[in-house]
Amino acid sequence: MNSINRILIAGSFLLLAACSPKIYGTVQLVDANLQPIQAAQDSPQGSIVNMINTTGSIGQSSHAVTVDVEGKFESEKEKVTPGMYKVEASRIGYATETETVEIKKFTGKKIEFKLKKILEGKRATIKGAASDEDKIINPGEVSIQPPSM
């Protein structure tokens, strides 16, 4: 085998390795009006993207990665195999987004998630009775139990 053939074969293997299936994309944080949240307020870094293979064997069923400071994520090499995937992006304080994708041999799938900020509810203070005299008790509804030892 001459050196040109060896180079072509080696190049083919490198090309196939570079074309392994992958899931990649971006995560953007948005407010209730779907407007981007500025990085100074909150960053997508640390968000989790979970890739669940719904057609694979149990050993290859799930793979998770964290999002970088630029909001980008990419599956690790050889962790994604051809099949159907449920891909979830999540971050504390934001609604989880899910997308179903099909991954084929030698292809990748780009997904762009927009995680919507969850609005926090107003807090209410609950005040109890100021004294035992303020409590109204119907003796027919009271059950007294001896203390447990």
The rounded distance, in Å, linking the Cα atoms of 2 and 12 is: 16
Q: Which of 137, 104, 132 is nearest to 20 (CA)?
A: 104
Residue 7: the pLDDT is 57
Q: Does residue 131 belong to any structural domain of this protein?
A: no
Q: Does residue 122 belong to any structural domain of this protein?
A: no
Question: What is the count of structural domains for the chain?
Answer: 1
CATH number for the domain harbouring residue 52: 2.60.40.1120
Q: Does residue 108 belong to any structural domain of this protein?
A: yes
Q: Does residue 103 belong to any structural domain of this protein?
A: yes
Chain segment 94-132, per-residue pLDDT in tens = 999 999 999 998 888 999 999 999 987 655 565 665 555
Residue 15: the pLDDT is 45
Place of tokens 């599956």: 75
User: Residue 99: which H helix or E strand, with range?
Assistant: strand 97-103
Quote the domain boundaries for residue 107.
21-116
Q: Does residue 35 belong to any structural domain of this protein?
A: yes
The rounded distance, in Å, linking the Cα atoms of 19 and 28 is: 26
Range with the lowest mean pLDDT among 8-12, 34-38, 73-77, 120-124? Answer: 8-12
The amino acid occupying position 7 is I
Q: Which of 29, 66, 24 is nearest to 44 (CA)?
A: 29
Is residue 136 scored above 70 in pLDDT? no
The rounded distance, in Å, linking the Cα atoms of 35 and 32 is: 7
C-alpha atoms less than 13 angstroms from C-alpha of 3 in its C-beta half-sphere: 0
